[in-house]
Structure 1
Amino acid sequence: MKMSAVHYVVVLGLVAIAVISDVYWSRGNNQNRNATSNIPNSGEVKDDELREFSESLLNKDVNNAAKYVTINLQSKTTSRSERDEAPLPLLSIDKEAFKISSIGKLLNLHDNYVVESNVNEHYTPQEKNEENNLLDDILNTSIMQHTRNFLIEKGKIGRDPKEFKDIMREIWFNMYSRGGGRIGSSGFEHVFLTEIKKGQVSGLHNWIYFNDAEKKNEANYLGYMKKIDLGNKGIILKYHFTFHGIDKPVGSMFIGTSPELEMALYTTCFILRADKICPLKLYGSRFIIRTYTYRYRGKNMIGSAFPDI
């Protein structure tokens, strides 16, 4: 059956809203896109330097879990489709993957957050300890050490390791309000988990959380639009899904990569190219990462970060 002109316009409108939701969610009322109050400013880093850097990180991804992940892509779809082109789950993960240190510590944070962004988060000492454990684990990896050295070389941070950890904690874990005065969001929650605000799904750019949500029947994979192969280290996927029955026409995430690789790429792009295109390369394939600043109480935090293919 053909759609009427009115129906077609409505569908296109809904898709447009979903695609840009991450962008608008990431902008605070007092945001200054050029503000760098908590991150030093220095010379511009060339695109080819970013591509070379990202490729070197993939080679260092020793905690990569792709060998434990079975990806069932099934059929292609579009952002406008109302059909489920993938009746089976997207992911099947061997339990060995969850024994990887950073993945296990990431899983510990899954129950620390309320999915509704307009609900105050209650931050407990145990939750702070779990964040510290994850940060310490990630910062001790060769991936994050290489990232820190790269940012030092480019004049973006000093040589004190504590400074880098403080920046990581601030941009990823500082809580902020996305509206209504409720302190119910953070960069980490948005990117590595997900959020719902005013009936829309935003975030959910991490395969570990998506797998968890699939197993709980909270997420339903509807098919994919595009993928980039990372050899034996996973893929980057652009896909259509629902979460808690709410449609998100376009989502994207790495699959199989370690938490430290993803956090290193997002952090680097946020520090060097926040609110701009960040051109990278993995396994010979070029793509971009987009990061958006959320300005809150004089600080720049990550509002959103995701691969764009």
Structure 2
Amino acid sequence: MEEVTSARKYCVQQLIPAVRNAEVIVDLAAIGTHLQGSGSVVQEIFDENQGEDSLAALKAIVASLQAKELELARGMVDPTSDELGDLEAAANKLWLLDTNRLVAGAELVLNFQEDTRYGDDNAHEALFEYVDGHAMSKSTFTAFYKLLDNYTAEAGVSEEVTDEEKQEIFAFLEVAVQTPVMQYVMKYLNASGKLPDDAQDEYGFKGFLYRLWFYFYSKEARFDSSGFEHVFAGDTRDGKVGGMHNWIQLLIQERKSELNYLGYITSRGVDGDEEPGSEYLMSISFDWKGATKTVGSSFFGTSPEFEMALYTLFFVCGEERNPVKLANRYNIDVVCYTFAGRYIGTSYPHVHGLEDDE
């Protein structure tokens, strides 16, 4: 699978410049030369998708590689005995299975600008330089978007879920539980004996996720918060932003001119060299709706189902702070705090070397 994933990533890196700029010419011969040695599956896909229109051919190659990657991932959703005894190994398996993750530096390009501390505005341009519309049109992404405007940002305001909003939640859960990452977590929790009897099939697992993430609980007012609202949508209290650890919500709010990116935090917990704009984890500072997030750590480019799967796994099987080296590069604690012992209070990737988030 890794050969297919690597080939798709490379092909996307060649494709996106041509999509963004009609003057960029796709060199299929050079791409074919680069892919030599990537295995028979990759070579067969490349050979089967040739044509006079090199851009159309490359799009077909990417689509075929994506389909093959998904097929292979679906055959890897049963956790191994080693993974069942090692949450870090399980987290890295989830990373491998996230076939909907964008290719950072190509499908998602970030404009870091300057580092910042204490909420100083050292960035005068937007954080998101480019996001590929086709990559963002996957079913889990489009279902996820619809959930983010269902909440009141101000903490302490009672929330109510309408029938339409409940339908939107289950529409997202329906497509999410079909993905390899969610299939893996369902099987992992089952094998670990962590799921109740009524949550051990897909139908029951959707109900389990609904209760864990979407049930409202009372913090400052009756039914004023939920795990999903805090972690993914965000809230404000006393001039501070709470939660909001999801890059898609950051993107939406920035494009609505509701969010002002202030800069990145110098210590990013990353091992090795990475091209600017190609990282999947960042700690940033921003203003939102009159409040400030001085340190906020988020994955970037990951699928919403990956993030929910990862946090669910560690919430159920882990501790409050779970050290993980993810993708052999990102040194983090997966933080999970409960509310009332049953619900997710917050969860996020805390980058080693930084002050704590919330």
State the TM-score, normalizing by the size of structure 2. Answer: 0.67
Contact 1:234/1:257, CA 8 A, preserved across alignment: no
**Within 1, Cα distance between the matches of 2:256 and 2:139?**
23
| Mapping 1:156-175, distance limit 5 Å | 156-157=194-195, 158=197, 159-175=200-216
Q: Which residue type is aligned with residue 237 of structure 1?
A: M
> Which gives a bigger RCO, structure 1 or 2 (Cα 8 Å, sep 6+)?
1
Contact 2:239/2:292, CA 8 A, preserved across alignment: no
User: Once the two structures are superposed, what CA deviation does each residue of 1:1-60 show, in whole Å capped at 9, x if it has no partner?
Assistant: xxxxxxxxxxxxxxxxxxxxxxxxxxxxxxxxxxxxxxxxxxxx9997111111111111
Structure number having the greater strand percentage: 1
RMSD of aligned Cα (Å):
2.3
Q: Which residue type is aligned with residue 75 of structure 1?
A: E
Partner secondary structure for residue 303 of structure 1: strand
Structure-2 residue corresponding to 1:140 = 178
Structure-1 residue corresponding to 2:107 = 68
**Is 1:204 equivalent to 2:204 in the alignment?**
no
**Within 1, Cα distance between the matches of 2:338 and 2:321?**
13
Larger Rg: 2
Deviation of residue 167 (structure 1)?
1.8
**Within 2, Cα distance between the matches of 1:193 and 1:242?**
14
Q: Which residue type is aligned with residue 297 of structure 2?
A: S
**Within 2, Cα distance between the matches of 1:73 and 1:249?**
16
Deviation of residue 199 (structure 1)?
3.2
**Within 2, Cα distance between the matches of 1:98 and 1:133?**
17
Contact 2:140/2:172, CA 8 A, preserved across alignment: yes
Deviation of residue 262 (structure 1)?
0.5
The match for 1:54 among 84, 87, 91 is 91
**Is 1:279 equivalent to 2:318 in the alignment?**
no
Structure-2 residue corresponding to 1:308 = 350
Matched positions, count: 258
Q: Which shifted more, 143-152 or 159-168?
A: 159-168
**Is 1:149 equivalent to 2:165 in the alignment?**
no
Percent identical: 35
Q: Which shifted more, 154-163 or 197-206?
A: 154-163
Partner secondary structure for residue 311 of structure 2: helix
Contact 2:154/2:237, CA 8 A, preserved across alignment: yes
Q: Which residue type is aligned with residue 100 of structure 1?
A: K
Q: Which residue type is aligned with residue 115 of structure 1?
A: A
Contact 1:86/1:223, CA 8 A, preserved across alignment: yes
Any stretches of 5+ residues in structure 1 without a counterpart? Answer: 1-44
Deviation of residue 81 (structure 1)?
5.0
**Within 1, Cα distance between the matches of 2:338 and 2:219?**
12
Any stretches of 5+ residues in structure 2 without a counterpart? Answer: 1-81, 352-358
Distance 1:46-1:61 versus aligned 2 partners, 3 A rule: closer
User: Once the two structures are superposed, what CA deviation does each residue of 1:208-238 show, in whole Å capped at 9, x if it has no partner?
Assistant: 0001111111111111113338989851111
Distance 1:70-1:229 versus aligned 2 partners, 3 A rule: farther
Deviation of residue 264 (structure 1)?
0.7
Structure-1 residue corresponding to 2:18 = none
Q: Which residue type is aligned with residue 172 of structure 1?
A: W
**Is 1:86 equivalent to 2:123 in the alignment?**
yes
Deviation of residue 70 (structure 1)?
0.9
State the TM-score, normalizing by the size of structure 1. Answer: 0.77
Structure-2 residue corresponding to 1:39 = none
Contact 2:181/2:309, CA 8 A, preserved across alignment: yes
The match for 1:112 among 143, 150, 167 is 150
Q: Which residue type is aligned with residue 211 of structure 1?
A: L
**Within 1, Cα distance between the matches of 2:211 and 2:168?**
15
Structure-2 residue corresponding to 1:266 = 311
Q: Which residue type is aligned with residue 238 of structure 2?
A: K
Q: Which residue type is aligned with residue 241 of structure 1?
A: F
Structure-2 residue corresponding to 1:38 = none
Partner secondary structure for residue 266 of structure 1: helix
